[in-house]
Copies of this chain bind each other. A is one copy, B any other.
Amino acid sequence: MFYRSVTGIITSKEHSDKMKAKKFILKKPFEGLPKKTDFELIEEELPPLKDGDVLFEAIFLSVDPYMRQERIRPPLGTTMIGEQVARVLESKHPDYKVGDNVVAELGWRSRTVVNPDTIFSAYGYKAKPHVLPNFGNISLSAAIGALGMPGNTAWFGLTKLCDPKAGETLVVTGAAGAVGSLVGQIGKNLGLTVIGFAGSDEKVKMLKEELNFDHAFNYKTCNVAESLKIAAPKGVDIYFDNVGGKISDTIMNAMNLFGRVAVCGSISSYNNDPNNLPVAPILQPTILFKQLRVEGFFFNRWLDIWMEGVHKNLEFMKQGKLKAKETVIKGFDNMVDGFIGMLVGENTGKAVIEA
């Protein structure tokens, strides 16, 4: 496995037999951090296309924290869930033509034959793939990153739930992750003071030097409460929470009256049994005294206005005010390594697998 930053356009590949496919199926329920042996890589011959079917080939595949969650993961013996950027190799569907690029919920599969009208997302809603416009100089991987689900999670979570007002102070945890790195930059673009917490000194350096964060701290080595006293002398108005748990307590205790908290993720507890979660001091007194509004959300509540977020983030990107950091893991066969690496924080920005 190796990592590199993706720039420029991905060119198509040669394939000896385009009806040969690989997929990862889930073999065992996760216990703690997922293991390679929880998955099985299977090769298969795809069926011929029926009317309405399309043959897709994965270009970039997404690994995201939500895939770890007990309540989301697929039944044992079935293909792992997830989005991919894919190219149309063959089509018997009027809405797709050979060479089109799409974002599709096809799971961890290298090639797929499917009728796009029948695709459902892991969250249970109909998810007919979008054909992507010409991305120009932007990597197609952005379609599963800054111009896709993570980008819209950041844009809508921050703007729809947190009422950001210029001059306010925003704290982001998981700040170097796919969503967090975008939230902080969008916050800066909206005139907020932005403080990020991440899990390594390299990430902290990147947040400050490349992504324009006002302050960034390594939560593994700093005192979170003391760091906030220095970085947020007027208190915290908005907290974009990607991690949950103890650090969230500390941050919420540093919030101002009528602060807003968007609960976007809880990665600190995803490896725990949901019936045996870690304990922390109860939150209600803090929520009460500071009259906080704390709201959990998934991106899919804004599907009806999806393109608002994509256009906004694209505009920022074109202006050079939103950098889409990516960690690219090369090779479909390395999906599991990429997934586990992302869960333990090896990635900076969006973790994608290049097939």
Contacts and interface: CB of A to CB of B under 8 A. Distances in A.
A298 interface: yes
A287 B295 contact: yes
A348 interface: no
A97 interface: no
Contacts of A282: 244-245, 248, 266, 269, 277-280
A71 B244 CA distance: 26
Interface string A248-287: 1000000000000001111001000010011111111111
A310 interface: no
A240 to B, nearest CB: 12
A286 B263 CA distance: 10
Interface residues of A, number: 35
A286 B288 CA distance: 18
Contacts of A264: 288
A135 interface: no
A294 B280 CA distance: 17
A244 B278 CA distance: 18
Given A279-B280, A282-B245, A285-B244, A293 B293 contact: yes
B279 A279 contact: yes
Contact of A295 (B263, B274, B277, B292): B292
A67 to B, nearest CB: 14
Contacts of A287: 263, 294-296
8 closest A-B pairs (Cβ-Cβ)?
A244-B284, A287-B296, A288-B296, A277-B281, A279-B279, A266-B284, A294-B294, A293-B295
Interface of A: 69, 71, 241, 244-245, 248, 263-266, 269, 274, 277-298, 301
